[in-house]
Chains A and B, each alone.
Chain A
Amino acid sequence: MASTVSTPPTGTPASGEAVDPALERAAERAAARRGALLALPGFVYLGLFFAVPLAIVFVYSFATRSSTGRTILGEWSLRSYGRLFDPLVGGIAWRSLWIAALATAICLLVGYPFAYFIATRSPRVRGLLLVGVMIPFWSNFLVRTYAWRLLLGSDGPLSQLTDLAGLGPSRLLFTPTAVLIGLVYGFLPFMVLPLYAAIERMDFGLVEAARDLYASGWKAFRHVTWPLSRPGVVAGSILVFIPSLGAYVTPEILGGSRTTMLGSFIVRQFLSARDWPFGSSLSFVVMAVMLLATMVYFRVGGKTL
């Protein structure tokens, strides 16, 4: 496939060179029509099965909780938004941001060279290595996470390893580190897949040229490979960061539920506190902030990362 990329096409009509403006406008309109047509199925689907449901919970966020935990529609208030200023919420949000950011950084640090290595194998090996990343994830999520409990436990293999190394038994289970390991484990494929997709399509002729041009491999990487793979980095970071922020099973199982993150906090509002208005408003604020950050990240990250 890479060979297709490196064969330069001939006779491309470079846009805008002395073309009749009327024709050009017609072409633009045709393109817009095609674009809209491509967008239509997704737009209709997400509009119906996502935006409309979302509007329903948006309405719920202004409702009130009755003392039996029922959501009373019709008594509108901003009470649930007011509760967002509780320092409890701030503390949890801050901690979640930190852990999610760390998990994303580690995934990138480990996932990038990993994806690069895979992308530079021969096509057949590539496919095998890539599927090899996904296979573990077709077992069951809970069972995998519980397996980590054993690995990290005080009698687990990791602890025995550090003991043998003379460091004494280590106990990682039920610490924030364990949560971090669990998150990295769970979301590494989310980083690797877009990175692989981005690196694999690079025009390796360019990289080769850069090799010749720059003295060191590092410089070639910094000036050519990295910028070319940036869309993958941006997409991968988002796919890791956001789900990490909302994770709640991992902190519960590996963190012993002592590292409360935003995800668990929201779950609690909907289930055990039965405060749907607060759960809704919390979700909305988190989503709004994330959407904004994502957009900015894409805009900035696409250019200057």
Chain B
Amino acid sequence: MKKILTAIFTASVIAFSSPAVFSTEEVVLTNNGGVPSLRSLVEVSDVNKAEALKKVPREQHLIDRNYVQQPPLIPHSIRGYQVNLNANKCLSCHSFKNAGAMGATKVSVTHFITREGTTLSDVSPRRYFCLQCHVTQADAKPLVDNTFIPVDSLR
């Protein structure tokens, strides 16, 4: 019995290991399929050199929206602004209460609506984390070309 088990074990080891070694080599040779990706034509296992971090300008002009429903972009630096369970620095200026005095854009009332459609007296929890949609912009080249043009009436 023991002999048979040993034989089966040995056979299976040979059966599984040898093709595995062979196929790994093959994968390494063809893993990008010769198709350049956003990282250009490099092997999957290669690590690209990191690009220099883009600087966010301290202030810039209001950035136009590219399409109607686009969340407006943040035209200023937000370094060190805390947005978490305890505090929301964005709302220090952009809340309904503070926007007037601070000369900032008011948060839209659509942000007071919960996903059930109830309008609350303040920002709804699902819209609380501003930076999920509103982001700063740096002077970076687009990675992919985009030919989108809005219809004439909405331009």
Q: Do A and B come from one complex?
A: no
